[in-house]
Structures are given as C-alpha cells and as structure tokens.
Amino acid sequence: MANDKAFKIKNGLSAKRYLQSSTAVAASDVDMSLGSYFTKTLSANTTFTFSNPPASGTAGSFALEVTGADVTQGFDLSNASYDSTFFYVGSQETLPRDLRFKPDGTKMYIIGESGDDINEYSLSTAWDVSSASYTATGSVSTQAAGPSGLAFKPDGTKVYVVDRSSIYIYQYSLSTAWDISSISYDSKSLFVNVYQNNPLCVFFKSDGTEVYIGGGSGSNFDQFTLSTAWDISTASHTGASTSITATGEVEPEGLYITPDGLNLFTCGLNVDKIFKLDLTTAWDITSLTTTGFVEFDNSAQEGAIRGLDFKPDGTKMYIVGQAEDDVFQYSTGTTTPATITYPASVKWSGATTPDAPAAGEKDVYVFVTTDGGTTYYAKQAGDAVA
C-alpha cells in the first residue's frame, strides 16, 4: 500500500525514491490523474481540493509534500502597535478632520476646518509619515464651511468631501491626478440631511458604486448606491446600520472598509478608541454587527481623534486628530504560519488534523481513497523531511 511506503519517510528514506514523478500543485488542486507525488510551497493560507480519483472500488493514493511559509495578516487591530512615527500638520491645518493616502503611499491628504481646504503632502519613503513634506493646497471653502470627511477615486481624478455644516457630499475633479492644487468643483452633490444631520465621515467602495457616511445623528452609518459609478448626483439611499453605541462611541468620526468589504473601522471623540466591526455580508452596511468588536486605545498619542486610514494590505494604520495636529503611524500586520484547509472528505488518522509545517519546513502527507473520492484516509508520513 502507498501508506506503508510513505511511512518509511520518517525513517529517513526519500519519498521521491518510491514515487517516481513529482507534480507541483497548481491553484492548490491535487489532480490524481497527473501523478502520485505532489509538491506545494505555501505563500498564503491555502485550501486544497482533490480531483479525478480512480473509480469507486479501485484504490488510489498519493503523497503531498508541503513546504511551510510565514504569511502576514493585515488589519490586525488586536495586535496593533505604535511605530513611534508621526508627522505634524499644524503648520497647515489646526483643525484636521480626516486623512487619506494615495494607494502607493507616496502622497497623503489632510482635510480640515481651519482652512476649509485639503492639504497635500509627499512622502519620500512610501507609507512612512516621518518622511512627509507639504506640497500643495486645494480649497473647498466655496461649498464646504465644515469639511469633515474625505474620499478619493482610486485613480486620483475625483475627490469627495462630506460637509457637516451644509450636510452635503460634494464632488470635485482633479485635472492632474493626485495634484490637489488642480481641484475644481463638479457642481454635483448629495444632500444627506434626511439620514445624517451631522455627517462626519465618508468612504467609497473601490468601484465607485457604493458610498457610506457616518455621524453623530443615530450613531450609525448609511449606505447609498450610485447608478453611475463615481457620480454622486446619482446616489440613492439603500440602507442603514444599527447604532454602534455598544462600543461606547456615539459620534463615529472616521470610516474605513477593508478591500473585501467584510470589516469596518471607525473612531470618534467620545472614547478615543479605534474599533473594528464585522459586516456579515460584504459591502452591506445593514449587516454591520457590534458583536465581537475589537478596539484599540489611541489616547496615548491623540486625545481628539478625527480620522483614520490604512495601507491597502492592512499592515499600517494612520490617525489624525485636533489635540496634537499630528498624523500617527501604527503597525497592524501580524506574521503567522500559513494555514492549510483540506477537503471535508479527508479523515485523518487519530481524528486530528496535523498542523501546517513551519516556515521552510517540509512535511509529507499520504492520502488513500477506495470509493471514488467520497472519503480519503490520511496520515502525516513525514515531519520536517530533508
């Protein structure tokens, strides 16, 4: 039996001596018609599938050699740590309300009420705020007397400002992408008073078809669908979240939704904390739940937090507030061994699924089926093999 041969690996015999062919697993699918020995070097958390087993009544077996790796998990607020890195924006804005970054981390933008404008900064080292320098300003004062939230189209050609004074979201264009000095008003807006009479933050889905706002009225978030992507004048209200007062926060000031649409981050003045909340249905604000929320106390750096943003992979977080007029930088990525998920049809010896190999370590597993793949019997046959 293949199992008996595989067990010899533990005694120092090479697996490839008894299984002549070695096939790299593509897209984590083990196709049993292609060979009997498969290799996979992990680069992320991995789910395996098994395909094309022999017909029921015919025994089929294969060995799977897996090389472990460490992977970085982003948006890990429970393990966030301050980088001891900050940048002072008070020379341009003494009432900063929100911040956003260019997706490559080479530019940062601060919106505030003392100037009713957006200030642009260049970062000589991407995502390192200590390397920032002021470069330009774009005024929104003709429309917004209390600008409180900021959003960009991912290509840098559109800017959106939520104004708590007029209770509108305003849309602007940049004639030169990411150059805030080239800003001009599109004469397009959305009045949100019916849903939020004190709007404080704004965020767009990356395809421009959904926009979200939050604020003090209701202590919740509202969602609007845009029939024409990125055209705020085509927005219609499609839902509202429950109140987030269970967190202790009553006026959400900052808003960020992860690229998969399943986690929402917010912050506010009431408790000087950042919160991570779950959306049980991606991008559906009505599915927001406060059950199991995660919090991070930022008060050691900023006692009046107003806005937050993340590096797209979730390994860095940034906040701004009006107590210190600083942008503070945090690490929110955690390195852990990549995990493995096997098909539900796999029955492990001893009923215990083995741990995935450590980074750089090779483990070998043997699988046997006699019923056409309805059930696979499995055992770890080699631990840290050469």
The residue range of the domain holding 363 is 2-69+338-382
The yes-or-no verdict on residue 141 having pLDDT over 50 is yes
Does residue 125 share a domain with residue 103? yes
The yes-or-no verdict on residue 2 having pLDDT over 50 is no
Q: Are 204 and 211 in contact (CB under 8 A)?
A: yes
pLDDT above 70 coverage of the chain, percent: 94
Alpha carbon distances (Å) from 298 to 62, 96, 251, 330: 52, 16, 16, 10
Does residue 260 share a domain with residue 314? yes
Does residue 330 share a domain with residue 347? no
Does residue 255 share a domain with residue 115? yes
Does residue 316 share a domain with residue 180? yes
Confidence at residue 386, expressed as pLDDT on a 0 to 100 scale: 64
Does residue 322 share a domain with residue 292? yes
Residue 384 pLDDT grade (very low, low, confident, very high; cuts 50, 70, 90): confident
Using CA atoms, how far apart are residues 60 and 213, in angstroms rounded to an integer?
56
Does residue 350 share a domain with residue 270? no
pLDDT 10s digits, 270-317: 999 999 999 999 999 999 999 999 999 999 999 999 999 999 999 999
- Note the helical H segments in 215-345: none
pLDDT 10s digits, 143-187: 999 999 999 999 999 999 999 999 999 999 999 999 999 999 999
The structure's pTM equals 0.84
CATH number at residue 234: 2.130.10.10
Confidence at residue 324, expressed as pLDDT on a 0 to 100 scale: 97
User: For tokens 């006692």, what's the residue?
Assistant: 303
Confidence at residue 24, expressed as pLDDT on a 0 to 100 scale: 78
DSSP 157: S
Assign 15 to helix, strand or coil.
Answer: helix
Does residue 148 share a domain with residue 245? yes
Using CA atoms, how far apart are residues 197 and 162, in angstroms rounded to an integer?
11
> Which one-letter amino acid corresponds to residue 179?
D
Confidence at residue 10, expressed as pLDDT on a 0 to 100 scale: 35
Does residue 130 share a domain with residue 25? no
Does residue 300 share a domain with residue 350? no
Instruction: Report the DSSP beta bridge partners of residue 172.
Output: 159, 185
Does residue 233 share a domain with residue 93? yes
Does residue 308 share a domain with residue 348? no
Last residue of a domain, one of 335, 356, 374: 335
Work out how many domains the chain is built from and give that number.
2
